[in-house]
Amino acid sequence: MNDGDMVQPRYRSGFLAARISRRRALAGAGASAAAAAAWAAGACGGSGSKSAHGPATPTPRAGGTLRTGTTLPLSSGLDPQLETGAGLQIFPRLYGYLLHVDPSDDATIYDHALSVEQPDATTLIVHLRPDVRFHDIAPVRGRAVTAEDAAASLLRYRANQLVLNKTWHTQVLDSVAVFDPGTLWITTTLPNIYSLSELGGISGGAIIPRELADLATDLSVTGVGSGPFQIDHASLNDSVRIVRHGAYFRAPLPYLDAMEWTIFADDAARVEALKQQQVDVVANHDRAEAQQIAAALPDVDITSELSLAYLSLGLRVDRPPFIDPRVREAIDIGLDRDVMIRDITFGEGDILGPVNPHIAGGYWSLQRAEIVAAQRGDVPVDQRRADARAMLERAGAAGAHIRLQVAKVPQLLDVASVVREQLQRLGLIVDLETIDLLPWFLGFRRGEFEMTLISHLPYEWPDAPTRMYHSAGVDGTHSPFGFGDAAIDRLLEQSWGEPDRAVRRHTLLEAQRLMLNARPMIQLFTNKAYTSSWRYVQGRKPGLTGSLAQYNYEQWLDRR
């Protein structure tokens, strides 16, 4: 019996049972408003097995425009495969998806797909709904969404040279075939537990009409999707307005006539626009701003959410002085994270290991006690610093000159200054090297740094943050840290094909313990995010995490 014979039966019985049978079936096109107001309507426009948060809400009212204020610009516009800025809130409401996977429990939430079969470990057969139509805009003019569109979108993402984090698409995805207009046949090079989540990913999963899937087509301010809204106006620097797609297949959603995003030059202008009710919702800079707004505007609700983003220090461990593990450990134990959390996050941040504890409620992350022990956080900081200085002395790195690289983003510059001051207390000489954000990112991917401050994306799965410790790196080509560990590689590769969630968790926890000891990255802290909203904005569902919040189409306005 070969390895494939051993793996495939486990996938039939384990993977499908865990991922498909627990799906949240979405409501049909004729669903009532009450059914559409259930939890999964917020995620995908229908009803599901998870109830809405809290007691029953009033019957939604149709109409109106929901206005959001932000200081975050669009980085690449509304092209779903490229955008990493404010457009992340917008394009998921323009484009349709085959499905989504809930990071909290790995359950599948169907959107344009009716069902998924997996006859063996490397084959996925996706059956599409027949009643989904694109926006009535040239060149598609409201035609039906087909498997050919989904296939063209997947292949566009794989071929898109401007997309960097696409390891699954370039190394796992083998072929995409259209069996008939309603059936998509996908094969992978090897079993991979993240295949469904990649198919439903917020960027790679967006369905673009095949007529627009040519990479030469500019989708930055134009585009056609099959989501609940369509573009009315889009400007990279000023504002975006999207309007209701009248033929959206999950009627009566959306309730709103339109949604608008206005990009402000600074925080003060954004807050003033909220006070004047020129906008209805804003993301707050921090807790202090949220508290100021709450004190001034009693009819504004403030919500907080655990952030999936976090900060780390990346080290080139194949170069002096970080080639010596004692130097890396000295920096790790010498940092005063309590001061960082107190001064930068107003006491609401938290320490973390290789995987953010906010992912899936901490299911994939090490216990806090293990992280504290590894960082010696239970030892007084003065003692830790004395031990760190002695460790640096033994490693011949006392007084070493270090260049700390940081992107020119105000919040990151603040953190880098605190890190620099703390490292200098260990006797290190630290120079800050500030770089514009895009050159910083490209240089980071190429490993062009000694030490760098990394602001991580809000990962929803443990795959990307743990892949950073793989010898092939997060993109499958190389480690930007010059790091490699055969035991870590083996555990990670084992996790990628493990259908049993509990077994996969155990494997990833073992890998993280090795990562904590190796320290090619030194984790700093994670945080909370705050949002202010006028109370007449209903159906916001702030409890939805990650990208699921972007698929919430059931907001409505009650100005009575």
Whether residue 188 sits in one domain with residue 61? yes
List all residues 6 or more positions away from 109 whose beta carbon is below 8 Å from its beta carbon.
Answer: 23, 24, 26, 40, 43, 44, 48, 99, 100, 101, 102, 200
List all residues 6 or more positions away from 381 whose beta carbon is below 8 Å from its beta carbon.
Answer: 336, 338
Task: Evaluate whether 213 touches 156 at the Cβ level (below 8 Å).
Answer: yes
CATH code at position 376: 3.10.105.10
Task: Evaluate whether 392 touches 322 at the Cβ level (below 8 Å).
Answer: no
Domain that holds residue 476: 307-528
Domain-located, residue 274: no
Rounded to an integer, the average pLDDT of 369-392 is 97
**Rounded to the nearest 5 degrees, what angle is found at the Cα of 513, between the Cα atoms of 510 and 515?**
110
Cα separation, 240 vs 86, whole angstroms: 10
Beta-bridge mates of residue 451: 315, 404
pLDDT recorded at residue 543: 81
Domain-located, residue 464: yes
Whether residue 544 sits in one domain with residue 484? no
Whether residue 245 sits in one domain with residue 98? yes
Q: Which of 2-16, 411-425, 457-471 has the lowest mean pLDDT?
A: 2-16
Domain-located, residue 504: yes
Cα separation, 356 vs 462, whole angstroms: 8
Rounded to an integer, the average pLDDT of 150-176 is 93
Task: Evaluate whether 240 touches 260 at the Cβ level (below 8 Å).
Answer: yes
Domain-located, residue 289: no
Whether residue 553 sits in one domain with residue 409? no
Task: Evaluate whether 244 touches 256 at the Cβ level (below 8 Å).
Answer: yes
Query: Does the pLDDT value for residue 421 go beyond 90?
Result: yes
Q: Which of 384, 396, 394, 404 is nearest to 454 (CA)?
A: 404
Whether residue 204 sits in one domain with residue 339? no
Summarize pLDDT for 218-241 with one digit per residue, the tens.
999 999 999 999 999 999 889 999
Cα separation, 556 vs 256, whole angstroms: 6
Summarize pLDDT for 17-34 with one digit per residue, the tens.
334 333 333 322 232 222
**Residue 384 — pLDDT band, cuts 50, 70, 90?**
very high
Cα separation, 432 vs 257, whole angstroms: 48
**Residue 56 — pLDDT band, cuts 50, 70, 90?**
low
Query: Does the pLDDT value for residue 288 go beyond 80?
Result: yes
Whether residue 226 sits in one domain with residue 361? no
Cα separation, 299 vs 291, whole angstroms: 13
Summarize pLDDT for 169-213 with one digit per residue, the tens.
999 999 999 999 999 999 999 999 999 999 999 999 999 999 999
CA 245 to chain centroid, in Å, comes to 26
Query: Does the pLDDT value for residue 45 go beyond 60?
Result: no
Rounded to an integer, the average pLDDT of 263-276 is 95
Domain-located, residue 88: yes
Structural domains of the chain, count: 2
Task: Evaluate whether 266 touches 71 at the Cβ level (below 8 Å).
Answer: yes
Query: Does the pLDDT value for residue 474 go beyond 70?
Result: yes
**Residue 130 — pLDDT band, cuts 50, 70, 90?**
very high
Whether residue 183 sits in one domain with residue 240? yes
Query: Does the pLDDT value for residue 459 go beyond 60?
Result: yes
47 or 551, which is more confident? Answer: 551
Cα separation, 465 vs 545, whole angstroms: 17
Query: Does the pLDDT value for residue 37 go beyond 70?
Result: no
Question: What backbone torsions phi and psi does residue 541 show, to the nearest 5 degrees?
Answer: 50, 65
Summarize pLDDT for 309-327 with one digit per residue, the tens.
999 999 999 999 999 999 9
Whether residue 318 sits in one domain with residue 198? no
Q: Please, what's the b/e burial string for 217-240 (b: 16 or more CB within 10 A of its CB; e: otherwise)?
A: eebbeebbbbbbbbbeebebeeeb
Task: Evaluate whether 169 touches 204 at the Cβ level (below 8 Å).
Answer: yes
Query: 139 preceded by cis ω (within 30°)?
Result: yes
Whether residue 380 sits in one domain with residue 241? no
Average pLDDT across the chain, whole number: 89
Domain-located, residue 290: no
Tell me the DSSP string of 179-193: EETTEEEEEESS--T
Domain-located, residue 152: yes
Q: Which of 52-61, 349-358, 360-369, 515-524 has the lowest mean pLDDT?
A: 52-61
Cα separation, 228 vs 250, whole angstroms: 8
| Helix (H) / strand (E) containing 404 | strand 401-407
Domain-located, residue 413: yes
Question: What backbone torsions phi and psi does residue 470 show, to the nearest 5 degrees?
Answer: -75, 150
Whether residue 110 sits in one domain with residue 46? yes
pLDDT recorded at residue 20: 38
Whether residue 333 sits in one domain with residue 231? no
Cα separation, 273 vs 529, whole angstroms: 20
Neighbour count for residue 283 (Cβ, 10 Å): 19
CATH code at position 215: 3.40.190.10
Whether residue 236 sits in one domain with residue 152? yes
**Residue 162 — pLDDT band, cuts 50, 70, 90?**
confident
Rounded to an integer, the average pLDDT of 260-274 is 96
